[in-house]
A = this chain, B = another copy of it.
Amino acid sequence: MRYVSITPEEKRLMLKATGVDRVEDLFATIPENLRLSKTLDIPEAASETDILKYFHSLGRKNASAEDFEYFLGAGAYNHFIPTVIDSVISRSEFYTSYTPYQPEVSQGTLQATFEFQTLICQLTGMEVANASLYDGGSALAEGVLMAVRTTRRQKVLVAQSVHPEYRRVLETYAANLDIQLQELPFTESGCVDVEALERLVSEDHAAVVIQSPNFFGVLDDVEQAIGLTQSVGALSVVVVSEAISLGLLKPPGELGADIVVGEGQSLGIPLGFGGPYLGLFASKDKYKRQMPGRLVGQTVDSEGRQGYVLTLATREQHIRRQKATSNICTNQGLCALVATVFMSVLGKQGIRELAEQNLKKAFHLRKLLGDSLVFSGATFNEMVVECSEDPAEINRHLVSEGIIGGLPLGRYFPDRSNQMLVCVTEQNSLEKINRLAEALTSVKVTL
């Protein structure tokens, strides 16, 4: 057993020192009748060679971005991942270490996390960001709970154009804390219905949640929504599921958002069948003591040298137990490091150029789609299309051409069963974009 380092002889010596004859004796504290008599119905140990064969065979049962061009986004995006990222996170110093509870021997993780918090603040335009939450869905839930905590109000308006799965996670978290979630409709532009918002929002509301670019890819009317929200003393929670968009778009912070939550997968994290991803959480400075999750702060050591530590721990469960701001303990640390390296690789120019490529390639598709576009609002790299035939059918054709098409909207919006949400990133080629347009509109593209 290559994962164990104790030899039979050493085992003997250790048992002797411990004062028992057989290892089994150490388990005597488990009542006889509870001790397992049978051997586990799990295969015998497989060799490294067999393991690799097996998992490669499983891989061949998948379609993946290795062999297909993806136009599927909807909260998980196929972006370029710089090679250096894996070189950094493959250093065991980073990936095999624990939460930096002992700062003297964890300054690497701590400084990198402090850099992450700063980068997220810069990207979102907010004042403070935490060290990560699980994913976009739970980040939204934590954001709403924080708004409820701070405002001591129980009603929350959530735009229907927020990612449906995020909304489901929010429902799960809110279910038993008597929080009332109300839906906020959208107009034919795809933006939140501002009149409805004005009509619905009140002094009873803790928060209003909108997303931009929203689930339909539409750039929402964030500024106006925030204004209306704050006019009644509610907190504005803005969701971002496509972080790359912030390389180009005015960040929620600049527009006055109180809390920004979102998904950081676009920042160098592989599609990975949905996880591990990266929950982003940022807010205005005045709310920092209400924040969920870990925070790294700057300080000095006993000799006055600058260093970093986990701080404001009194918010957390291991100190405050049932009074904690959240129950989260293990977070997505290594994914935060990935995002830190990604943002550092791209830097000021790169993040902009990347965002522009997404915008321009998507715009090329948008032009080709013409009237098949469902919403009139401005978009970044995703858009909803009215299809000439059943979207699932179209996808089936596309697969044979090495293309994974968009998301049939019927899945979340039964009344939109003929619509497809498509995404274009810098990874998509002109040729395949044209092919997609043809398949969606059954109009031949001639360029």
> Chain A: residues with CB nearer than 8 A to chain B?
48-49, 80, 82-83, 87, 90-92, 427
Q: Quick one: closest B residue to A52, CB to CB? A: B83
**9 A–B contacts, CB within 8 A, in A order:** A48-B80, A48-B82, A48-B83, A49-B80, A49-B427, A87-B90, A87-B92, A90-B90, A91-B91
A92: which B residues are within 8 A, CB to CB? 87
CB distance from A37 to the nearest CB of B (A): 32
CB distance from A320 to the nearest CB of B (A): 40
CB distance from A101 to the nearest CB of B (A): 26
Q: Quick one: closest B residue to A66, CB to CB? A: B56
Bound together, the chains give a CA A127 to CA B83 distance in angstroms of: 44
CB distance from A55 to the nearest CB of B (A): 12
Query: How many copies of the polypeptide does the oligomer hold?
Result: 2
A80: which B residues are within 8 A, CB to CB? 48-49
CB distance from A7 to the nearest CB of B (A): 12
CB distance from A24 to the nearest CB of B (A): 27
Bound together, the chains give a CA A91 to CA B92 distance in angstroms of: 9
4 additional A-B pairs beyond A48-B80, A48-B83, A91-B91, beta carbons within 8 Å, are A48-B82, A49-B80, A49-B427, A90-B90
CB distance from A220 to the nearest CB of B (A): 31
CB distance from A274 to the nearest CB of B (A): 24
CB distance from A256 to the nearest CB of B (A): 35
Bound together, the chains give a CA A80 to CA B90 distance in angstroms of: 22
Bound together, the chains give a CA A48 to CA B85 distance in angstroms of: 13
| Among all A-B residue pairs, the 8 with the closest Cβ atoms | A49-B80, A48-B83, A48-B82, A90-B90, A48-B80, A49-B427, A91-B91, A87-B90
A427: which B residues are within 8 A, CB to CB? 49
A87: which B residues are within 8 A, CB to CB? 90, 92
Bound together, the chains give a CA A427 to CA B50 distance in angstroms of: 11
Bound together, the chains give a CA A90 to CA B86 distance in angstroms of: 11
A49: which B residues are within 8 A, CB to CB? 80, 427
A82: which B residues are within 8 A, CB to CB? 48
- Of A48, A82, A83, A87, chain B has the most CB atoms within 10 Å of the CB of A48
Q: Quick one: closest B residue to A83, CB to CB? A: B48
Bound together, the chains give a CA A427 to CA B52 distance in angstroms of: 12
Bound together, the chains give a CA A292 to CA B49 distance in angstroms of: 38
Bound together, the chains give a CA A343 to CA B364 distance in angstroms of: 56
A90: which B residues are within 8 A, CB to CB? 87, 90
Bound together, the chains give a CA A90 to CA B90 distance in angstroms of: 9
Q: Quick one: closest B residue to A86, CB to CB? A: B90
Bound together, the chains give a CA A92 to CA B87 distance in angstroms of: 9
A91: which B residues are within 8 A, CB to CB? 91
Bound together, the chains give a CA A83 to CA B90 distance in angstroms of: 13
CB distance from A6 to the nearest CB of B (A): 16
Q: Quick one: closest B residue to A93, CB to CB? A: B91
Bound together, the chains give a CA A48 to CA B83 distance in angstroms of: 8
CB distance from A428 to the nearest CB of B (A): 12
Bound together, the chains give a CA A114 to CA B177 distance in angstroms of: 65
CB distance from A190 to the nearest CB of B (A): 31
Bound together, the chains give a CA A49 to CA B49 distance in angstroms of: 30
CB distance from A407 to the nearest CB of B (A): 24
Q: Quick one: closest B residue to A90, CB to CB? A: B90
CB distance from A64 to the nearest CB of B (A): 13
Bound together, the chains give a CA A83 to CA B91 distance in angstroms of: 15
Bound together, the chains give a CA A90 to CA B87 distance in angstroms of: 8
Q: Quick one: closest B residue to A80, CB to CB? A: B49
Bound together, the chains give a CA A90 to CA B92 distance in angstroms of: 11
Bound together, the chains give a CA A33 to CA B82 distance in angstroms of: 42
Bound together, the chains give a CA A92 to CA B427 distance in angstroms of: 30
CB distance from A5 to the nearest CB of B (A): 13
CB distance from A270 to the nearest CB of B (A): 14
CB distance from A429 to the nearest CB of B (A): 10
A83: which B residues are within 8 A, CB to CB? 48
Bound together, the chains give a CA A213 to CA B419 distance in angstroms of: 68
Q: Quick one: closest B residue to A92, CB to CB? A: B87
A48: which B residues are within 8 A, CB to CB? 80, 82-83
CB distance from A1 to the nearest CB of B (A): 13
CB distance from A271 to the nearest CB of B (A): 16
Bound together, the chains give a CA A92 to CA B91 distance in angstroms of: 9
